[in-house]
Amino acid sequence: MPEACIAFRNFSYTYEDGDGTCALTDVTLSIARGESVGLIGHNGSGKSTLLMHTVGILEPDSQVTVSGLPVTRENLKTIRRRVGYVFQNPRDQLFMSTVAEDVAFGPLNLGMSPAEALAAADKALALVGLEGFDERTPYHLSGGEMRRASIATVLSMSPDIVVMDEPSSGLDPRAKRELAALIFSLSCTRLISSHDLDFIRGCTDRVILLNHGRIVADGPAGEILGDKGMLEGNGL
């Protein structure tokens, strides 16, 4: 069997400040190296909770593994070097005065020299179609450009896995199509959460459907997204 890059085994999670309802219940899944997997479901279905557990943003748990490593406090540093996490709001990842500084920030923190970090940044910006944007101010970019720049901040660190939370949010149709094509072209393992089913269709080959914290379907993207009755029955 292909090596599992991300795996959840009978995993459940309840937010301590909630009403006792499980955000995730008995979730078991395995994502192989190189797969592009879409995570869909209604608001509150558990998508973001699942994504955050891949890098231990919420309480680390050994029932989740990344590249064979349990997501425990002892392994977080190693795991976070292997997983690039793209937050829903690009402003959460763009905080420097220029695009180049933002994209080089991660490589510098990995121990690269300034020259190596800038070279990595240039390469990542080229991958996302932002050549020549080095000296631009991040907050002066369009929504689509900001999204691409936030992805570049992750790609500059050459992660094995990229996890994206609602990457198409706020984008116009053209920007969504371009972003979907970019994501699909990446060779690393990808796990993408989105409410936008057309966007998921354009950038994944497998889809996992969540409903109230449980996996209710997992299969080829065309099969899952083509089942109108199942989608409507699960709030989509």
Relative to beta strand 206-211, strand 214-220 is antiparallel
Containing domain of residue 9, as a range? Answer: 4-233
The CATH number of the domain holding residue 182 is 3.40.50.300
Going by pLDDT thresholds of 50, 70 and 90, the confidence category of residue 224 is: very high
Q: How many distinct structural domains can be found in the chain?
A: 1
Relative to beta strand 189-193, strand 161-165 is parallel
pLDDT in tens, 9-56: 999 999 877 666 789 999 999 999 999 999 999 988 999 999 999 999
Going by pLDDT thresholds of 50, 70 and 90, the confidence category of residue 4 is: confident
Q: For the whole model, what pTM was predicted?
A: 0.90
- Closest to 186 (Cα-Cα) out of 131, 127, 136, 234: 127
pLDDT in tens, 189-220: 999 999 899 999 999 999 999 999 999 999 99
pLDDT in tens, 167-182: 888 888 888 888 899 8
Instruction: Write down the pLDDT at residue 18.
Output: 64
Instruction: Write down the pLDDT at residue 2.
Output: 60
Element (H, E) at 115: helix 114-127
Query: Do residues 26 and 10 lie in contact, with contact meaning Cβ atoms separated by under 8 Å?
Result: yes
Two structure tokens written together for 217 = 């379907």
Instruction: Write down the pLDDT at residue 205.
Output: 94
pLDDT in tens, 116-141: 999 999 999 998 889 999 999 998 99
pLDDT in tens, 53-111: 999 998 888 999 999 999 999 999 999 999 999 988 888 889 999 999 999 999 998 89
pLDDT at 1 over 60: no
